[in-house]
Structure 1
Amino acid sequence: MILYSIYYYVSLAFNIYSFMLVGYVLMSWVPAVQSTKVGRILEKACEPYLGIFRKFIPPIGMIDISPIVAIFMLNFIKNGLVIVIQKIYFMF
């Protein structure tokens, strides 16, 4: 039961952050939305993580593919963390 609740909250946190990243990327298409309070909050939450990938992945023309890689890596990290939680739980 505890394993399920830990898995649920870890998965929920990663899913919320993934949706925040998608929202932030979609907001970049409408510059007026970025200057709102929600836009500034999403910028503070998402830009440090996206900045890591933007350093290594240049845009292709006008298309920035770093958010796609960032979301893929976030899901990869989530799945790895869930496996580690399961391994630790079953050790005891």
Structure 2
Amino acid sequence: MISLISLIFYVLQRLIQVYILAIVVYALLSWFPGAYQTGLGRLLARIVEPFQSWFNWAHLGMIGFAPLVAILVLTGVQYGLQYVQILLLNLLY
């Protein structure tokens, strides 16, 4: 039972890390003209934009901080998952 819980939390944390990487790559695509029109750009847009659009309010002039805020939120979720995992494992011991 304990190993199943650990596996579930491990998979969730790795998925969040992959999603953070996708956000970073999507943000870096903005540095290259026409990169959003490539296959990778369209794929990442479908994956990243729904979540990142919640944070489009975070901008200062022409500089958008939505990717940074999204990454900070996901990092907070990761720490929350780690805390819940520790609590669950302590209850089971």
RCO comparison, higher one (Cα < 8 Å, 6+): 1
Q: CA deviation at 1:9?
A: 1.5
Q: 1:6-65: per-residue Cα shift (whole Å, max 9, x none)?
A: 3321221111000000000000222311111111110000001110011x32x2122111
Aligned to 1:28: 30
Q: In 1, Cα distance between the equivalents of 2:81 and 2:55? A: 20
Task: Give the residue type in structure 1 aligned to 2:67.
Answer: P
* Superposition map of 1:62-81 within 5 A: 62-81=62-81
- Name the aligned partner's letter for residue 78 of structure 1: Q
Which SS does the other structure have where 2:89 is aligned? helix
Secondary structure of 2:64's aligned partner = coil
Among all aligned residue pairs of Structure 1 and Structure 2, give the percentage whose two residues are the same amino acid. Answer: 30
How many residue pairs match? The answer is 90
Higher mean alpha-carbon deviation, 78-87 vs 32-41, is at 78-87
Higher strand share: 2
* Moved beyond 6 Å, runs of 4+: none
Q: Where do 5+ consecutive residues of structure 1 fail to align?
A: none
Partner of 1:37: 39
What value does the CA root-mean-square deviation take over the aligned residues?
Answer: 1.7
